Structure 1
Amino acid sequence: MVESVESVELINAEEILNSLQDDLLVTTGDGIIIRATKMTSTIYNVPYEHLIGKSVYELEAKGVFLPAITPLVLKKKAKVTIVQSTNAGKKLLVTGIPVRNENGEIQRVVSYSHDVTELLTMKGYLSKMEEEMIRVREEESFRKEEKQIAEGLIAEDKKMKMTLQIAKQVSEVDVNVLLLGESGVGKTLIAKYIHDSSPRKKQPFIEVNCGAIPQSLFEAEFFGYEAGSFTGANRHGKIGLAELAEGGTLFLDEVGELTLENQVKLLKFIQEKRFYRVGGTKQKQVDFRLLAATNQDLQDLVSKKQFREDLYFRLNVVPISVPSLKERRGDLVPLIYYFLTYFCEKYNRVRELDDAVMEHLINQEWKGNVRELMNLIERLVVTIPSELISIDNLPESYRIDQTEGIRLNIENQTLKEILEGIEMRIFQQAKDKYQTTTKVAQKLGISQPTAVRKLKKYQLNK
């Protein structure tokens, strides 16, 4: 009678298991399968009769599922939940539970699973979408951070017209362009003009100022980094400037400022258009059009072993020289009126320049080129209270004719006083233009301590 009850209980247990529409699997402490539902057979794509009596270790070795849950439960001696892959390409969320005997020893391991293939696929899709949204947001922030005065690209002068004509021509194809010219001539505007005239105009234009980014951080800023890559990094990681340029134009300004080490990394990236984020293991690919600019003589830097020759030739496929303001005098008056109108509208002011001011501005050297002119006009618009800007309203460095000043004071000053006066004006102009003592020293061909001492002497260090 007892035996018949047990056999009935076994039959009922099998019926109960097979009535379940979910995966349920029971193994011994040695990993031998002793119970399973029909759904288990379907999920693992193995005939039911081939499951019973099989070792989970053997099935794992054959790739039926990976990893097996039973060994993990036996090792941890507790409930375990993992994501398991099947030979059919499914992803299962599997939970294993230990069943103990009266001595507390694990006698059975019961496991059940849920198919989460679609959920994980959706999670991966959402993750990519989130990353793309971050890329777009950061790209937009770059555009808003410093809006370029693109309309200020005045070209009445013959030389500037020729420059824009070449820029327009090369914009139609994805050829690398190297923009050459003095600081402040408008190389960034030309680069933006090429982008806006190209088939990529609806895609991002990402400017990378190679001189402004600390060279030790260039790789992290340019390629981005994964979470926890280094101390002080954003805990969520960061998308790099190169990745933001996907589909658009990558503009490398002041490319001559890069160290040789960063030049190597940049060369490899330009050649392959593939990269790894700092701390990352997944290679990323980006589609972009490359533009570069410099105010330095790269050929001279190559000869001095300060710039890689292979990178130079990679960048210098089509060189475009942007003329200085003194070479395009025909644009000077239109630029003055353009900037005057622009800043009057921007600051809601009404300002005019009298004839003497116009004549004085036209005769200036403009060593800082268009940027210097733009900054001066903005300064006059916001600081002069009267509507008419006169010669007396110009900053002293723009009003003084230095040669005439020497002649007028030669009777009342010693040679030392005259030379000190000239030196003070030189350092005043250098400080106004280059801001830092390092740049002032570099441009005047002196040491930084000397520059600091001179600026302090003339009280220009504030």
Structure 2
Amino acid sequence: MNIPNAIITEQFIKHTEAIMDCTQNGILAIDTTKTVINCNNATGQLLGRNPQDLIGKPLREVIDTCNSSISRVIETGQPEFSTPININGRSIIVHYTPLYMRNKITGAVAIFQNISDSDQVISELECLRHQYNQLETFIDSSFDGIMIADTHGQVIKVNKAHTRLTGLNKCSFIGKYINDLFNQGIFKYESLTGKCLQEGHTVTGLQYINPTKKDLIVTASPVFNSDGSMAGVIANLRDLTELSQLKDKCKMSQVRTKRGHIELSNILKEKLRQDKIVAASPEMIKVLNMSERVARTDTTILLTGESGAGKEIVARIIHHASERAKGNFIQINCGAIPENLLEAELFGYEEGAFTGARRQGKAGLFELANNGSIMLDEIAEMPINLQVKLLRVLQEQETFRVGGTTTIKLNARVIAATNKDLWDCVKQGTFREDLFYRLNVVPINVPPLRQRQDDIIPLVMNYLNCFQEKYHVNKCFDPEALSLLEAYQWPGNVRELKNVIERLVILCEGNIISSQLVAEHLNRNQKLTLEPVVVNGLLPLKDAQEKLERALLQLALDKFKTTRKAAQALGIAHSSVVRKLARHDMKPVQLWTTYIDS
């Protein structure tokens, strides 16, 4: 059967057009007059026009940017490849090729390749490559050995630490199956990776490595895909010997740190002794240690604590331990000066600022404290209007004298002190919240004397020596008198203790200050309350006293954790409790704990 040539030609043309329309790249053909003779769908989509409407149009009306290049190709017969152009905001690469029919140029073909999508794909690939490289770096940087296997138990990744722990290079593992490695004798015991693959959860156990003769702790954990299917297993390897060595190093480091703290504490105690500062309790040593640390900086400090606890001493220590020690240490009690005079005292005044002002004016305490320190005691008593001015000093490090207009630059460290809860004052509206935050940079609480009993006897002896020199007398305390002083709660803190010792030195007629005299001058504010004692029969008074004493001691020890607290409850010295326990042959566990804690 013969098919007409016309039909064959028509089918060929349709096939050719179908192939062109299926092509992702745009194809545009022109004749020698630069008129469009063919155009596929991809070109129409690229130009945003119907491809049938473009046929028969001059090239310059369709896409003028190709006009000059395609003219050269028709004239020279030389193709031009990878010419970049921009169409509708898209980056396009164009390849121009001459169109020959019977060895004669009858036109040219332009092929358009959209590289915008390619750029995005390349960018995403670069991002993935970067993330992969980062992951590789993280895995290789791990101190633990890491091995990754797929769902078939085939090793796909090991890190450098794995090589160190097993003694074998990466080639000995990558591409190998876990079971084969066991069969080769590299591992012993059970396959934790295989067990993890079978059971689908994390398993941990010991694994012996033949090449290095080491026992390793191996943890194999499953890795899951987003759909919940298992993607593989990651195993972490840790050397028991290395872990033991690290543990020993940590212990040694802790020992060195503890030894360093003890040495620093001893150095501080020696320095305090040289500076005639009495502090023996752990609580006060901790405060002084912190004070010395913050003294090296210029930060603002807020000292809190009861009246008479020793805030001024701490402030002086901070000043003398700092680089400002050569400057002045100025102290002012904000609650002791009338409001109308406090501003002039703090910030100074100019000539004629108010009635009675000095003719030449006067420098304020902040100016006198320049390059030194100023302690604002009882800061909670500062009037609210002066708090604004103090806030400016802290923020700007500058001030104005009363009646003055010239800015005075300041370089003084502020140490504020109060026996009140400043935050309560803020809530009551008597203290500015912004000033509170400016002052409360480094808060240091000075504990009351009743919370640092180890300081009581050293303070007593210190003040006894001072007043003996002052009054030219020779006095000493009866042991029971010292016990009473140690057991007293000292509501007035160190200030009260100092006054009591001075009074006892003056009023004692002999050389020994007796417990009776001490008891007369101590106004106890904590008295031991006891339940009524019931007597059911006669017995010697001495025996009754012993039984009552033993019962009270046992009651106090049962109620309180330490002998020191028991002594406070019974109203006697700690040393007296220890002696009485020994006399009654009472040796509770708390007794030894007390020595450690105290």
Scaled by the length of structure 1, what TM-score is found? 0.53
* 1:303 and 2:427 correspond: yes
1:341 and 2:461 matched: no
User: Which residue, 346, 352, 357 being the options, matches 1:222?
Assistant: 346
CA distance in 2, matches of 1:302, 1:393: 45
Deviation at 1:297, TM superposition (A): 0.4
Name the CA shift for 1:256/1:407 in 2 (closer, same or farther; >3 Å). Answer: same
Tell me whether 1:361 sits opposite 2:463 in the alignment: no
1:263 corresponds to 2:364? no
Aligned to 2:452: 328
The alpha-carbon deviation at position 393 of structure 1 amounts to 3.0
Letter in 1 for 2:495: R
Deviations 1:97-143 (A, max 9, x none): xxxxxxxxxxxxxxxxxxxxxxxxxxxxxxxxxxxxxxxxxxxxxxx
2:508 pairs, out of 384, 397, 408, with 384
1:402 to partner: Cα distance: 8.1
Out of 154, 158, 161, the residue aligned to residue 285 of structure 2 is: 161
Aligned to 1:438: none
Query: Where in structure 2 are the equivalents of 1:373-452 lying within 5 Å?
Result: 373-394=497-518, 396-398=520-522
Go from structure 1 to structure 2 and tell me whether the alpha carbon gap of 1:205 and 1:402 turns closer, same or farther (over 3 Å shift). Answer: closer
Measured against aligned partners, the alpha-carbon deviations of 1:226-271 in whole angstroms (never above 9, x if no partner) come to 2332223333322211111011011111111112111111111221
Q: 1:223 to 1:402 in 2, by over 3 A?
A: closer
Where in structure 2 are the equivalents of 1:270-285 lying within 5 Å?
Answer: 270-285=394-409
Larger deviation: 392-401 or 154-163? Answer: 392-401
Q: Which has the higher contact order (CA 8 A, sep 6+)?
A: 1
Contact between 1:152 and 1:335, CA under 8 Å: does it hold in 2? no
1:177 to 295, 301, 308: 301
Q: State which of 356, 368, 371 in structure 2 corresponds to 1:247.
A: 371
Counterpart-to-counterpart distance in 2, 1:395 and 1:214: 39
The answer to whether the 8 A contact 1:150-1:189 is kept is no
- Give the match for residue 212 of structure 1: 336
- Unaligned 5+ runs, structure 2: 1-272, 533-598
| Bigger Cα displacement from structure 2, 382-391 vs 281-290 | 382-391
Q: Which residue of 1 aligns with 2:164?
A: none
Provide closer, same or farther for how the CA distance between residues 404 and 226 of structure 1 changes in structure 2, counting only shifts above 3 A: same
Say which of 312, 316, 327 aligns to 1:203. Answer: 327
Answer whether contact 2:485 2:518 (CA < 8 A) is retained. Answer: no
**Deviations for 1:299-318, whole angstroms, at most 9, x for unmatched residues?**
11112222111100000001
TM-aligned CA distance change 1:274 to 1:387, over 3 Å: same
Contact 1:249 1:289 in 2 (8 A): yes
Instruction: Kindly tell me the number of residue pairs found equivalent between the two proteins.
Output: 260
3-state secondary structure, aligned to 2:331: strand
Look up the match of 2:315.
Answer: 191
Conserved 8 A contact 1:391-1:399: no
**Greater displacement, 399-408 / 330-339:** 399-408
In the alignment, residue 242 of structure 1 is paired with which amino acid? F
* 5+ residue gaps, structure 1: 1-148, 409-462
* Corresponding position of 2:260: none
RMSD: 2.5
Q: Deviations over 1:66-114 (max 9, x none)?
A: xxxxxxxxxxxxxxxxxxxxxxxxxxxxxxxxxxxxxxxxxxxxxxxxx
Per the TM alignment, residue 202 of structure 1 is displaced from its structure 2 partner at its CA by 1.0
Distance 1:261 1:275 in 2: 14
Equivalents in 2 of 1:329, 1:377: separation in Å?
A: 16
For residue 235 of structure 1, give the secondary structure of its aligned residue in structure 2. Answer: coil
The answer to whether the Cα contact below 8 Å between 1:185 and 1:371 also exists between their aligned partners in 2 is yes
Percent identity, aligned pairs only, is 45
Name the CA distance, whole Å, in 2 between partners of 1:348 and 1:244: 38
Between 151-160 and 366-375, the greater mean CA deviation after superposition? 151-160
| Aligned residue in 2 for 1:83 | none
Secondary structure, aligned partner of 2:522? helix
Q: Is the 8 A contact 2:484 2:518 kept in 1?
A: no
CA drift at 1:344: 1.3
Q: Quick one: structure 1 residues 151 and 337, their matched pair in 2 at CA, closer, same or farther if it must change by over 3 Å? A: farther
Shift of 1:152: 5.4
The verdict on how the C-alpha distance between 1:234 and 1:150 changes in structure 2, with shifts beyond 3 A counting, is farther
1:25-63 per-position Cα deviation (integer Å, ceiling 9, x unaligned): xxxxxxxxxxxxxxxxxxxxxxxxxxxxxxxxxxxxxxx
Return the alpha-carbon distance in structure 2 between the equivalents of residues 190 and 403 of structure 1. 32
Structure 2 counterpart of 1:207, which letter?
A: Q
Aligned AA (2:441): V
TM-score by length of 2: 0.41
Larger radius of gyration: 2
Q: What SS does the corresponding residue of 1:394 show, helix, strand or coil? A: helix
| Distance in 2 between residues matched to 1:241 and 1:156, nearest whole Å | 34
- Counterpart residue type for residue 206 of structure 1: I
| Structure 1: distance between partners of 2:322 and 2:518 | 41
Question: Aligned residue for 1:370?
Answer: 494
* Separation in 2, partners of 1:383, 1:394: 10
Counterpart of 1:279, as a letter, is G
Conserved? CA contact 1:226–1:238, under 8 Å: yes
Where do 4+ consecutive residues of structure 1 move more than 4 Å?
Answer: 149-152, 399-408
Which residue, 405, 408, 411 being the options, matches 1:287?
411
Aligned 8 A contact 1:255 1:292 in 2 = yes
